[in-house]
Structure 1
Amino acid sequence: MIPSYFFAHGAPSIVLEHNGYTELMSNFAGSTPKPKAIVLFSAHWEQPVQTVSTAEQYSTIYDFGGFQDELYRMTYPAKGDQVLGSQIQTLFAEHGIESHSDSERGLDHGAWAVLKLLYPEADIPVVALSVNRHLTNAQQYEIGKALSKLREQDVLIIGSGGTVHNLRRLDWRADGVDEWAGEFDNWLQSKLEAWDTEALFNYRELAPYAAEAVPTNEHFIPLLLAMGSGDANRQAKLIHRSYQYGNLSLSCWQFN
């Protein structure tokens, strides 16, 4: 059974950077079996009802401003997978999860920036999925859990977001990591490795500096979605963690 993953996508410029995290991502395809398809939840596609892409061919969305000109010339011309998209909607229906389809939307930077580092050839079909910040954390987990069977079909499930993501607290000149960001991620690591869903679902009340680390939850949700898809075995492994700008976490979690 293929693992599922959470990747922090950082700033859009991550695709131009060379550091330990981007090296990990660039080497990912060579160190793991090639999936038949990729299902990706992006923090930058928010919808009030769970939405499944049925696009045949994706355009590239530049949903950011003020970055290097090179970024606006990049494309990620991935193909969709309408059969898999239909299967996903069936799985959602079987689990009582309402879903809609969308055949027009392209890939936002939460999706294509990660995919361009992982699979730069864009030769694997992709089904993009939205997130809904208004659901409970338990409901987020159940959405991921509903898709767990896809892993048996060599489908790679990815959640793309960020565990510590507070743009107002960034220090563009910082070299180290802010203490509060590290403490939050340390707490998170202990609960993920213990598969303590009760604590994780109540992280806002229990985790140190949760309000600072997660001022809005759309970037945190993909972690719970990816985790939910690993419910059968409940094994979480931290593959990488580093920081940019004092507190923007670049982390990768594997769920077996």
Structure 2
Amino acid sequence: MRRLPSLFVSHGSPMMALEPSPARTFLAGLGARLPRPRAILVVSAHHDAAFEGGRATVTASPAPPTIHDFGGFPDELFAMRYPAPGDPALAGRIVDLLGAHGLPVIADPERGLDHGAWVPLSLAYPAADIPVVQLSIASNASPEWHFALGRALAPLRDEGVLIIGSGSITHNLRAYFTTRPPIDAPAPAWVRGFTDWIADRFAAGAVDDVLHAVERAPHGKDNHPTPDHILPLFVAMGAGAEAGGLTAERLHDSTTYAVLAMDVYAFGGEPAAL
């Protein structure tokens, strides 16, 4: 079985499920560019252990419900469902892998898939016929903790599991609500400067710089007033790291609503293989 890369996907607004955009078009073709996984593990910015009693959790439902964890959107969006099966056995495997690395996690037999998982998956794998499990971040834990989480999960890549960190390479909702730019508005310099710095640091192999991008990158705090949407990037990085270092490929680069950059990265695959 071919080793799968790990991915970081910027999921942007839930409206990506309905509204045309370059990012939506890219994600709609992404599944066809990858070897078909036997299962998918999504680490979503919207599943945060820091707000759930501090316990990392992995979904273990055989039929995870679709969670509409947002408000103020059209009824059409709330009517959407992503009825992918779950994989309780994979959830158990994740519990064992993380526990062996001193990263305790519990299986939750009831929690479903939030929009950080089902919106991008509904585009990349619209048939919803691949089992999906979801793992929490912990916004009160360090970038290094999330990287270690990914490293512990890396063996799954050899077991046919596609690991996806789902967040946003930039995520300042206050900036959006202040001006409410149209979906195709160009990115301001403070957004572009941050995303280009990330791409440059990846090209240089500067993993530690990326892990501390919020502090070190131009306008880091402006693009991430809270860490939740960048933490899935660090998990994907850890999962994709190889013995020789980290190979990062920027698969997609666009913005929506000016301030939400929609970059997609692959880690641990062969460059230009996707």
| TM-score interval for Structure 1 and Structure 2 normalised by the shorter chain | over 0.9
After superposition, the C-alpha distances for 1:146-204 in whole angstroms (9 at most, x for unaligned) are 01111011110000000110001114335111100110111111122333122123223
After superposition, the C-alpha distances for 1:77-98 in whole angstroms (9 at most, x for unaligned) are 1111111111111110111111
For these two proteins, the number of residue pairs brought into alignment is: 256
CA contact (8 A) 1:45 1:130 kept: yes
In structure 2, stretches of 5+ residues that fail to align are: 269-274
Q: Which residue of 1 aligns with 2:154?
A: 148
> What secondary structure does 1:145 align onto?
helix
Match of 2:38 among 36, 39, 42: 36
**Distance in 2 between the 1:193 and 1:55 partners?**
39
Aligned pairs for 1:181-192 (under 5 A) are 181-192=191-202
How far apart are 1:24 and its partner, in Å?
Answer: 1.2
After superposition, the C-alpha distances for 1:10-41 in whole angstroms (9 at most, x for unaligned) are 10010112222111111112222110000000
Match of 1:206 among 216, 234, 243: 216
Q: Which residue of 1 aligns with 2:264?
A: 252
The question of 1:223 aligning with 2:225 is answered no
Q: Which residue of 2 aligns with 1:164?
A: 170
**Distance in 1 between the 2:130 and 2:208 partners?**
35
**Distance in 1 between the 2:204 and 2:141 partners?**
24
* Letter of the structure 2 residue corresponding to residue 57 of structure 1: A
CA contact (8 A) 1:55 1:81 kept: yes
* Letter of the structure 1 residue corresponding to residue 238 of structure 2: G
After superposition, the C-alpha distances for 1:62-120 in whole angstroms (9 at most, x for unaligned) are 11111121101100011111111111111101111111111111111111101101111
The question of 1:67 aligning with 2:73 is answered yes
**Distance in 2 between the 1:252 and 1:34 partners?**
18
**Distance in 2 between the 1:109 and 1:29 partners?**
18
**Distance in 2 between the 1:19 and 1:245 partners?**
10
How far apart are 1:205 and its partner, in Å?
Answer: 2.6
> What secondary structure does 1:219 align onto?
coil
Q: For structure 1, which segment, 165-174 or 219-228, has the greater mean C-alpha deviation from structure 2 after superposition?
A: 165-174
> What secondary structure does 1:17 align onto?
coil
> What secondary structure does 1:229 align onto?
helix
Q: Which residue of 1 aligns with 2:138?
A: 132
CA contact (8 A) 1:172 1:246 kept: no
* Letter of the structure 2 residue corresponding to residue 188 of structure 1: I
Q: Which residue of 1 aligns with 2:248?
A: 236
* Letter of the structure 2 residue corresponding to residue 206 of structure 1: R
Aligned pairs for 1:45-56 (under 5 A) are 45-47=47-49, 48-56=54-62
In structure 1, stretches of 5+ residues that fail to align are: none
**Distance in 1 between the 2:211 and 2:24 partners?**
30
Aligned-pair Cα RMSD in Å: 1.1
The question of 1:90 aligning with 2:96 is answered yes
% identical equivalent positions: 38
* Letter of the structure 1 residue corresponding to residue 27 of structure 2: M
> What secondary structure does 2:84 align onto?
coil
Q: For structure 1, which segment, 93-102 or 189-198, has the greater mean C-alpha deviation from structure 2 after superposition?
A: 189-198
CA contact (8 A) 2:21 2:256 kept: no
**Distance in 2 between the 1:199 and 1:127 partners?**
30
> What secondary structure does 2:94 align onto?
helix
CA contact (8 A) 2:42 2:133 kept: yes
Q: Which residue of 1 aligns with 2:272?
A: none
**Distance in 1 between the 2:257 and 2:115 partners?**
19
How far apart are 1:206 and its partner, in Å?
Answer: 1.3
TM-score, with structure 2 as normaliser: 0.91
How far apart are 1:250 and its partner, in Å?
Answer: 0.9
Q: For structure 1, which segment, 233-242 or 142-151, has the greater mean C-alpha deviation from structure 2 after superposition?
A: 233-242
**Distance in 2 between the 1:102 and 1:193 partners?**
38
